[in-house]
Amino acid sequence: MPDTLITGAGAIGLQTAYLLAQSGQQVTLLDQSATGQESSWAGGGIVSPLYPWRYSPAVTALSHWSQNFYPGLGERLLAETGIDPEVYVTGLYWLDLEDEAEALAWAAREGRALSKVPAAEVAQAVPPLGAGFSSAIHLEGVANVRNPRLLQALRARLQQMPNVQVIEHCPVTGFVRDGERVVGVRTERGEFLADQVVVAAGAWSASLLATLGLSLPVKPMKGQMILYKCAEDFLPSMVLAEGRYAIPRRDGHILIGSTLEDVGFDKVPTDEALASLKTSAEALLPALADAQVVRQWAGLRPGSPEGIPYIGPVPDFDGLWLNCGHFRNGLVLAPASCQLLVDLMLGQAPILDPTPYLPAGRMGRV
């Protein structure tokens, strides 16, 4: 019987499994589909919240820890698996912000290298940028990670570890209990037992916990994106304006995102979103008007109040732990979230004060 069973094999579940296995635990990781095919795959991979100054200190703390961790994680996974997650440091420009003064004040408090930049300087630094932007702020050192490759590398690393079992296409339908203790999960393939169970099922976490009579305020929020292919040196930096962003990959792919739609578990891309995203793309980078959209897709973010994830034990259900509800920031918050959870599970000194993330007092009953 494994020490820990994790349901959900996205960025959160994979990194939680990785850390627990490194500590010597036997880990089983279950997913309802293939590894890393939901919101972790569908996002843009910016290693920063889109507007970090608009979030609570709880999100900021996880974000700062993870941002410092990602370059080393990328190098380690490349060395261990031969798969490069492509942690690409480009910096990020925000254009024509309404709350620019608040952003600069936040940066001063947090010691972040965010600075106001003249529009002419931005035009010189980012040649394909559209005209008409009057103000900009810039944060150097911000990276993006090629999230599908990060997920592939994590999956490959877990496959190398003899104390990890990954089981795909195995939906979890409920929990196995021994009195007040959760001792496993029920699936379409039968029961899987473990000493501890971690729910890292993203937008599906709430429906799973509802089988225990628990009400978790996490719901799916649809996001659609489109992808262009340009020359490798087309876009030297990430840019963001009016809620839409452009992210360059090293090989010239440009991601444009994203929508934010409250439509339940619908993941079907729409023509309306395509038109809206193309309009945003061409306003940011007019040359994209002559480029072809390579792909359009949608994912379901695990929306939660204030975007603060649930990390820690579930009260009154011994053996049950949560690591879910990261909303738009699952990828950037994953390293810190997973390390914090593992610290709590193993009784180690936590990397951060866990209080803001604990499920206690933040959940109800169905």
Structure tokens at 183: 């001792």
Last residue of a domain, one of 303, 319, 351: 303
Residues 227 and 297 in one domain: yes
Name the residue range of residue 135's domain. 92-140+219-303
Residues 136 and 226 in one domain: yes
Predicted confidence band of residue 140 (pLDDT cuts 50, 70, 90): very high
Residues 345 and 201 in one domain: yes
Structure tokens at 10: 């996205």
Does any domain span residue 276?
yes
From CA 287, how far away is CA 130, in angstroms rounded?
9
Mean pLDDT, range 325-329, rounded to an integer:
97
CA 317 to chain CA mean position, Å: 27
Predicted confidence band of residue 366 (pLDDT cuts 50, 70, 90): confident
Does any domain span residue 80?
no
145 near 166, Cβ under 8 Å?
no
Cα dihedral value 62, 63, 69, 73, nearest 10: 100
Structure tokens at 283: 């306003």
Predicted confidence band of residue 322 (pLDDT cuts 50, 70, 90): very high
Does any domain span residue 155?
yes
Does any domain span residue 71?
no
Interacting residues of 358 by C-beta distance below 8 A, sequence separation 6+:
310, 311, 312, 313
If one counts every other C-beta atom within 10 angstroms of the C-beta of residue 358, the result is 18
Mean pLDDT, range 169-185, rounded to an integer:
96
Residues 136 and 223 in one domain: yes
Running DSSP on this structure, what letter comes out for residue 163? T
Does any domain span residue 123?
yes
Write out pLDDT tens, residues 255-277.
999 999 999 999 999 999 999 99
**HEC profile of 86-154:** CCEECCEEEECCCCHHHHHHHHHHHCCCEEEECHHHHHHHCCCCCCCCCCEEEECCCEECCHHHHHHHH
Residue with tokens 């930096």: 237
Predicted confidence band of residue 187 (pLDDT cuts 50, 70, 90): very high
Cα dihedral value 152, 34, 216, 20, nearest 10: -50
Residues 154 and 298 in one domain: no
Last residue of a domain, one of 303, 323, 339: 303
Interacting residues of 177 by C-beta distance below 8 A, sequence separation 6+:
183
Give the β-pairing of 190-193 and 181-187.
antiparallel
Mean pLDDT, range 221-237, rounded to an integer:
97
Write out pLDDT tens, residues 95-133.
999 999 999 999 999 999 999 999 899 999 999 999 999
Structure tokens at 176: 């196995």
Mean pLDDT, range 186-194, rounded to an integer:
96
Mean pLDDT, range 188-193, rounded to an integer:
95
What percent of the chain lies above the pLDDT cut of 70? 100
Residues 163 and 287 in one domain: no
Q: What is the CATH number for 135?
A: 3.30.9.10
Residues 360 and 291 in one domain: no
Write out pLDDT tens, residues 7-44.
999 999 999 999 999 999 999 999 999 999 999 999 99
pTM for the structure as a whole: 0.96
Q: What is the pLDDT of residue 312?
A: 98
Does any domain span residue 68?
no
Residues 296 and 323 in one domain: no
- Please say if the pLDDT value at position 157 is more than 90: yes
Residues 10 and 109 in one domain: no
Q: What is the CATH number for 165?
A: 3.50.50.60
Residues 210 and 181 in one domain: yes
Predicted confidence band of residue 327 (pLDDT cuts 50, 70, 90): very high
Interacting residues of 233 by C-beta distance below 8 A, sequence separation 6+:
252
Last residue of a domain, one of 303, 321, 356: 303
- Please say if the pLDDT value at position 1 is more than 90: no
Residues 193 and 297 in one domain: no
Predicted confidence band of residue 2 (pLDDT cuts 50, 70, 90): confident
Residues 158 and 281 in one domain: no
| Helix or strand holding residue 301 (H, E) | strand 293-303
Closest C-alpha to 247, from 201, 289, 285? 285
Does any domain span residue 57?
no
Phi, psi (rounded to 5 degrees) for 339: -65, -40
How many domains would you assign to the chain? Answer: 2
216 near 310, Cβ under 8 Å?
yes
Edge-first strand order for the sheet with 181-187 is 172-178, 181-187, 190-193
Write out pLDDT tens, residues 290-320.
999 999 999 999 999 999 999 999 999 999 9
Does any domain span residue 82?
no
189 near 32, Cβ under 8 Å?
no
Q: Does 135 sit behind a cis peptide bond, omega within 30 degrees of 0 on the bond before it?
A: no
